[in-house]
Chains A and B, each alone.
Chain A
Amino acid sequence: MVPEAELRRAQRRPTGSRLSDTETIPVIDLDLPVEQAVRQLRFALTEIGFYYIANHGVPKKLIRDTFDAAARFHAQPLDRKMRTRIDRHNVGYLPMKGDTLRTSVVQTVTKPNLNEAFFVARDLPADHPDVIADRRFRSANRWPADLPGFRETVVEYCETMERLVQRLVPLYALTLDLPAAYFDAAFRESQYKLRMTHYPNQPAALDDEFGIAPHTDTSFLTLLAPNDVPGLSIRAQSGKWIDAPPIAGAYIVNGGQLLRRWTNDTLLATPHRAINRSGGERYALAFFCDASIDWPIAAVPTTVGPDKPPKYPTTYYTDYMVEYQKRTYDLLADQQAAE
């Protein structure tokens, strides 16, 4: 799937300097024997916090169709998009400059992000108990009315991503010296969100204006779809910002704040940002995935002990996200003020 030369280039690391070693984002081939994949994953998640995956089995066409769906969505007139405006479940449309990353621990951000995005969660049926109970983050999705095929493509994409996550979590378990099945139950009905983002071209970006400002994700893991248009940079452990170049067909994966909590800071949540200077539009598909909504989030057994107490109190997706979003989404704050 990934051309050999590109794989080699991405995996090549300068020798002699440990620091420079960590400034390359490794590529993990999912067709490798498990022990090898685990070794690479451990390196990736402890040294840089980002990795590419090759041979992930996601059909190229499905990825293309989902990018097309994102472009179609954002090509709609603004008033149409505003009809599905983001709600307290964090599904729906977030307009351009709709949020400022106030929770960023990475950089003091003054300008709102230069992107618009459409968020989709697991497509729960209207009669699902959580939907009926209006349970936070468990609502029905807000689908656009006049985009035939949009919903079907996006739902299929989400389900494919969910299965890919279920394939990855045994590797995470082994990386943490846990039984391979350790996370299986927690990720049987994972809590996820697909963010379909449109970054307009920023020819002359200001110093503190970003497509998306430096931040860490909240997720256990984020799967960013292979993208022909560059724009993502990550901050290596050395503090240096490096570009994450597109590798044909490869997903980019990273961990977030909840991964740190699951691992008592053993695994990284690496800051990243996006600026679109490609000269054209840029779309990005980020799939944020966490354990099932009721699963307790706490340091796994191999990362704690009497002499190494948990750094964070046990939390739950809902509690954590409520707190996080309170600080992040201006729009949401406006809505809450209006209520």
Chain B
Amino acid sequence: MAATETIPVIDLGPYLAGEPGALDRTAKELRFALTEIGFYFIVNHGVPRQQIRDVFAEVKRFHQQPLERKLALKLDKHSTGYMPMRGNTLRTSTVQTGTKPNLNEAFFVKRELPADHPDVLADRKYRGRNRWPADLPGFKEVVIDYCETMERLVQKMVRVYARALDLPAEYFDAAFQDPQYSLRMTHYPHQDGPVTDEFGLAPHTDTSFLTLLAPNDVPGLSIRTQSGKWIEAPAVPDAYVVNGGQMLQRWTNDVFLATPHRAVNKSGGERYAIPFFCDSNIDWPVAAVPTTVGPDKPPKYPTTYYTDYMTWYQKRNYDVLNADQQAAD
């Protein structure tokens, strides 16, 4: 049984600089992180500090709007838009029976598709247009820029994932050429008192291949290590926190972990968090990679696709969405 209680810090600098041997060295560290604890920090990731500050400022601006403005952008079937406070209960959690709705509000953005994109015209699920706030000049531009920066970072990181799985470095390139992503801009109000079953975000695992959580000065994230112990993720200056989700488990036939985590804001002030959830291209089959299966080690999961999996997942998760959809059906 894996027994590390420390979230490792991976320095992406040498790999991103193209230093000889750095890719495989970094891959080895990544393999350790994803098989032993499921979370890691990255430093020297190349994302400008100012860009991160700017996007946090925009998230704050968004949530400071009056509720009715935010509700005008209410979460839709593509899972983009605004989810109000206590808008969801994590009913799919295998981690803990979450009894109380989550104490956060969030605004979701996906890849910015043009109005004439075939998927938009076809009203394809999870390929809708983003719902931008009307009166926040600059918001859209900053957020789109940030998503594109995250996308490029993921495209570099998947080569490390490939090597960590003993695959050719380019193995995931095509799958992540047009990745399916979602940026969640969350506001956690301060929570007083002891936490038993009310969380900013109840214990859960992500669905993603990987999640990039922006460096945050305000603590609040805890993760459950393989020993079962909850530990706090310390704030490492300028470091992204990265973890895998259920899709990563499927891609790797459970070789890599999807570690449960939760968030509680006891900082005394507001907390904003900006996770970027990233998966492969929406049409790419999600199945165990060749180095994780064989005749004696069959795939544990049937091959799935983003749309099917997320439809199943979200049906169980978002009260707001469910109630609305069911009412509309």
Contact = CB atoms under 8 A, between A and B. Distances in A.
Contact of B299 (A294, A305, A311, A312): A305
B66 interface: no
Interface in B65-124: none
B174 interface: yes
Interface stretch (B1-9, B270-278, B290-298): B290-298
Contact of A310 (B173, B284, B294, B302): B294
A305 B303 CA distance: 6
Given A185-B173, A312-B295, A301 B285 contact: yes
Interface in B190-210: none
B235 interface: no
B160 interface: no
Contact of A309 (B170, B285, B295, B303): B295
A305 B285 CA distance: 12
Contact of B295 (A181, A185, A305, A313): A313
A179 B284 CA distance: 6
Contacts of B174: 179, 181-182, 184-185
A293 to B, nearest CB: 10
A305 B283 CA distance: 18
A300 B177 CA distance: 19
A308 B300 CA distance: 11
Interface in A297-316: 297-298, 300-302, 304-306, 308-314
Interface string B293-317: 1110111111100000000000000
A contacts with B: majority SS: loop
A104 interface: no
B299 A298 contact: no
A14 interface: no
A306 B293 contact: no
B293 A298 contact: yes
Given A179-B283, A306-B298, A185 B171 contact: yes
B299 A304 contact: yes
A178 interface: yes
Contact of A304 (B171, B286, B291, B293): B293
Contacts of A305: 298-299, 302-303
Interface residues of B, number: 26
A301 to B, nearest CB: 3
A182 to B, nearest CB: 7
Contacts of A309: 293-295, 297-299
B287 interface: yes
A297 to B, nearest CB: 7
B35 interface: no
B42 interface: no
B173 to A, nearest CB: 6
B290 A298 contact: yes
Interface in A280-301: 292, 294-298, 300-301
Contacts of B171: 185, 295
A180 to B, nearest CB: 9
Range, interface on chain A: 20 to 34
A179 to B, nearest CB: 5
Interface string B155-176: 0000000000001101101100
B281 interface: yes
A238 B103 CA distance: 67
A132 to B, nearest CB: 16
A308 B299 CA distance: 9
B320 to A, nearest CB: 33
A301 B291 contact: no
A308 B295 CA distance: 9
A296 B291 contact: yes
Nearest to B282: A179
A224 to B, nearest CB: 29
A93 to B, nearest CB: 32
Contacts of A181: 174, 177
B293 A294 contact: no
Contacts of B299: 304-306, 309-310
Contacts of A188: 170
Residue from B171, B174, B177, B284 having most chain A Cβ neighbours under 10 A: B174
A311 B286 CA distance: 19
A304 B286 CA distance: 12
A159 B185 CA distance: 50
A296 B298 CA distance: 16
A294 to B, nearest CB: 5
10 contacts: A185-B174, A294-B168, A296-B291, A301-B285, A301-B287, A305-B303, A306-B302, A309-B298, A310-B294, A310-B298
Given A185-B171, A306-B299, A311-B295, 19 more contacts: A181-B174, A182-B174, A184-B174, A185-B168, A185-B170, A185-B173, A185-B174, A292-B168, A295-B168, A296-B167, A298-B290, A301-B285, A302-B303, A304-B293, A304-B299, A305-B298, A309-B298, A313-B295, A314-B290
